[in-house]
Amino acid sequence: MANILLVDPEEKTREDLSSFLIRMGHSVTSVDSIWRAEQVLEREIYDLLICEEGLPDGKGLDLLRYAKAISPETEIIIISSDGTIEKAVEAIKEGALDYLPRPFHPQKIAFLIERVMENRKVVEENRELRKELDIPGRYDLVIGKSKAMQDLMNIIRRVAPTDSTVLIIGESGTGKELVARAIHRRSKRAKGPFKAINCGAIPEQLWESELFGHVRGAFTGAISTKRGIIEEADGGTLFLDEIAEIPPHIQVKLLRFLQERRIRRVGDTKEIEVDTRIIAATNRDLKEEIRAGRFREDLYYRLNVITIFVPPLRERPEDISFLALYFLYKYRKELSKDIWDISKDAMQMLLSYHWPGNVRELENVIQRAVILADGNIIMPKDLPQELALSGYLPSSSKSDRIKTLKEVEAEYISEVIRLCNGNMAKAAKLLGISRSSLYRKVKGCPKLRHILSQNGTKGGGEGAEYMPLSRGMDLDKKG
């Protein structure tokens, strides 16, 4: 429901439009002058102001400027009986949502109100999001409105206070490191260090030194003693991303640390006691890795004390718009861009895409859009081409993909042949091609080829004038 202020000097016009808006379910206050409008605007905030351009005590543009000054979020529609393009341009420049010349269809107003309320919803979401983002370090937290993400956050809250080892499972880009950081921030180790390492990025010969450190002279190039990342995370948390990439001989040493909480630097003779919590993550099936002999079963059970699954973005589409606004706010601040919204069409593209790269891909798309946008709203043109060409439709749609050009052509040819009652010569003429070209298209398309086989003794060749239409024309059935 929108809260609307209607300003028009004609009582009958006010009554008619008010009745229409009230039937739509909106709340309407109607007045006849700028003076009365200013009085009610000082007392109440309106979503929409609908104002006649010519008023007894001034112009609609005067009221527009006043309303924008005291309530910038109020949208304004100017209505005029003798409007010109110049007046319309001036009104839009002053901040009007639209400038409607009379006569106009009331449904036009209905459409504009829908736009206003959609924008209002985005503004409110942005306001709530802004409150959350003002929390220091908020970018490290896991966010989402879906039940799956709410359940995940509940698990994080229960797991965080313990010192248990955690295994996080999820596809690449789902935010496994964010989950690890969230666990650390909510734990008693929050004041300690959080260290993260990508296990797939370390050369095999450097693994032991990176993880456990080394002493001076332990090997060629070891000119000084170096602490390993486990020791650097002492009193805090170590996040081992892509744990399946750890080589077998290092898996043995990591298992020993998890059992004894002690490490030995490369080249050293003494052990060091280290209080580091381990959180591991993988996008692989570790049980399959165990069966393949690439991952130790005893290490798996040490890591798998508590397992957290991070669902892919395509399984929680209700989070897409929230995350998109989250990243919009993040990058508009970082890049100092005055961009405050995502257009309805652009948001629909985001919602329709399948996000193989998950949250990381969405973040990259929004960052790119903020950079490229030349207005204060992200438009479809600011999004990557693959979002428009992916063929994925909203989850509410029955269709899974966009039809190919050949499929569309087959359906069109089939329909033309049907309309011509099977007369191939007539169909070819309507299609603007020769009859021989039509036969070649029919023969070359599996969706149409069965038409020829239904022609009985005529054989469906180029000499046949008609194609039977009693059966076989339903392209939705296998033929």
Structure-block tokens of residue 211: 């993880």
Which of 264, 273, 267 lies closest to 215, judged by CA?
267
Which of 54, 56, 58, 98 lies closest to 76, judged by CA?
98
Q: Which helix (H) or strand (E) holds 282?
A: strand 277-282
Residue 96 exposed, middle or buried by CB count within 10 Å (0-12, 13-18, 19+) = buried
For 27, phi and psi rounded to 5 degrees? -95, 130
- Tokens 């919803």 map to which residue? 121
Give me the pLDDT at residue 244, please. Answer: 94
What are the start-end ranges of the E strands in 81-229?
A: 98-101, 166-169, 194-198, 213-214, 226-227
| Domains along the chain with CATH numbers | 3-129 (3.40.50.2300), 148-309 (3.40.50.300), 314-389 (1.10.8.60), 405-458 (1.10.10)
- Tokens 């033309």 map to which residue? 416
Give the C-alpha distances (Å, rounded to integers) separating 347 from 320, 351, 366, 439: 9, 6, 11, 44
Rounded Cα gap, residues 354 and 400, in angstroms? 11
Rounded Cα gap, residues 266 and 129, in angstroms? 48
Q: How far is CA 248 from the centre of its chain?
A: 39
The pTM of this model reads: 0.55
Rounded Cα gap, residues 259 and 299, in angstroms? 10
Contact 304, 167 (CB under 8 A): yes
- CA-CA-CA-CA torsion sign (340, 343, 348, 354): negative
Structure-block tokens of residue 447: 């969706």
Q: Are strands 262-263 and 272-273 parallel, antiparallel or unpaired?
A: antiparallel
Rounded Cα gap, residues 253 and 154, in angstroms? 33
pLDDT tens string, the chain, 479 residues long: the values are: 888 999 998 888 888 888 888 988 889 999 999 988 988 887 788 889 999 988 888 888 889 988 888 788 889 999 987 767 777 888 888 888 888 888 777 788 888 888 888 777 766 665 555 554 444 444 345 677 788 888 998 999 999 999 999 999 999 999 899 999 999 999 999 999 999 999 989 988 889 899 999 888 888 777 778 889 999 999 999 999 999 999 999 999 999 999 999 999 988 888 999 999 999 999 999 999 999 999 999 999 999 999 999 999 999 988 898 888 888 888 888 888 888 788 888 888 898 888 999 999 999 999 999 999 988 889 988 999 888 765 434 333 334 445 667 777 777 788 778 777 778 888 888 778 888 888 888 887 776 766 565 543 343 444 445 444 433 333 333 33
Q: What's the first-to-final CA gap in the chain, in angstroms? A: 51
Give me the pLDDT at residue 122, please. Answer: 66
Structure-block tokens of residue 275: 């209080």
- Tokens 């798998």 map to which residue? 304
Give me the pLDDT at residue 126, please. Answer: 59
Residue 316: which residues within 8 A CB-CB, separation 6 or more? 144, 146, 148, 149
